[in-house]
Amino acid sequence: MNIIKKEQIFQTAKRVWRPFILQISISILIFSLIFFVILFFRNKQLIETEHIVRARSYYEHIIVTRSWVSNYGGVYIEKTESVKSNPYLHDPDIKSTNGKTYTLRNPSLVTIELSEYAKINNFFSYHMTSLNPVNPQNKPDEFEKKALDIFERGQKEIWIKEKKGNQIYFRYMAPIFRENSCLNCHVEQKQINKTDSNIRGGISVKFDISDIENTLKLHSQLIIFLGFLSTSIFLGIVYCFVIKLMKAFSESQRQIQEMAITDELTKLYNRRYFYSKLNEEFEKAQRYKRDISCIMIDIDFFKKVNDQYGHDTGDNVLRAVSNCIKSTCRSIDIVARYGGEEIIILLPETDKFKAALVAEKIRKLIENKEIAYDKEDKTVKVTISLGVADFVSDDIVKHLDPNQFIKNADSALYHAKNSGRNRVEIFST
């Protein structure tokens, strides 16, 4: 009896499901890529925002300090050997009544000295500059020139990352606006007219972000690794789930196919499947000039079994007879329930004499078998009648068709039943 192989169905299912697996894998990869790219850039954006907030804080502290100094017209500090007078101010020194000399520190110089102090202590550094500075120390570099030009066009701030050797710096710059308290000093220095632009220059802030950038790089590598790992694990889980689903689907499909071709009571092939295989094997026999035989079987006096013992016993008898026949046949033989208590066997590459030997073997097996039919181990015995027919491609009957082939076997079965039953008859013309 031919068996529907699970592996064949599974391989067929794999071909059907392959596009689905490919599509879902691509979807997962795209989703994962988008998610981790967004995570990467979001992380990068948060770090950059933190740099900007930090730089703005430094800038605002400087502006507040300048404003305080400017509002008081500058501050005086005691002049010592380490404290020099501002050469860009007119008459910056004064003497007190106790004989000490004090020198004026205007907002610009306070800003410069605070910058030097911050740099020495590795806090951060900043630089006050303008396009036309009086003090050469305030000369702008390329970044500051670009920033000052942008400020004249209305932009409020600018920042960049600058790499020098192994160090990475964050540079931020925002404009300095002219205050009324500064006008007198600057007009006196002939730096500005009162009708000039309101922007006096700018303050650039610079601090080291090497550690943060290295950490960000490490986090980026970690994100890539975790992205690859999580995507691989997720794909593996999905693949395992799909494989299980495919196997379950294949098994369900196999069961459905078996149900479609199998008789529910006897578990033999049904008549429809038998005829589909009959046509296939008949064509092979004709094409390759091979013998093919058929055995038609009928349980003798089966109606009496049903009437005497009941239909449940009749079903047990039919199942037991079917199992005996199936166990006797080869794997290439087609055993089917033809209808009622009739069973038919198709034997490829077998002539009628070999088929008759098989039929006789089955007959004796059934004759000697005791079939249990209730829980008290009561048994019943039955016999069968068998008709055998064959087709040989070089036979004088050139136009024998499958239906006639079956009719011949049925005719031989009819002759066996009329000749006393429990016997094998071979069709002869």
Nearest 5 degrees, angle CA 193-CA 185-CA 176? 70
CB 41 within 8 A of CB 282: no
Q: Which of 422, 429, 411, 394 is nearest to 294 (CA)?
A: 411
Q: Which of 360, 422, 418, 413 is nearest to 388 (CA)?
A: 413
- 281 C-beta neighbours (distance < 10 Å), count: 20
Which residues are part of the catalytic machinery? 341
Per-residue burial over 70-96, b = 16 or more CB atoms within 10 Å of its CB, e = otherwise: beeebebeebeeeeeebeebeebeeee
Q: Is 310 left (phi over 0), alpha (psi -120 to 50) or beta?
A: left
Distance CA 353, CA 372 (A): 33
CA 385 to chain centre: 62
Q: Which residues pair with 163 in a beta bridge?
A: 168
Distance CA 63, CA 57 (A): 10
Rg of the chain over Cα atoms, rounded to whole angstroms, equals: 52
3-state SS, residue 141: coil
DSSP 87-105: TTSSS-EEE-TTS-EEEEE
- 300 C-beta neighbours (distance < 10 Å), count: 19
Please say whether the dihedral angle defined by the alpha carbons of residues 163, 164, 166 and 169, taken in this order, is positive or negative: negative
- Count of helices and strands (H, E) across the chain: 10, 14
Q: Which residues pair with 372 in a beta bridge?
A: 379
> SS3 sequence, 206-258?
EEECHHHHHHHHHHHHHHHHHHHHHHHHHHHHHHHHHHHHHHHHHHHHHHHHH
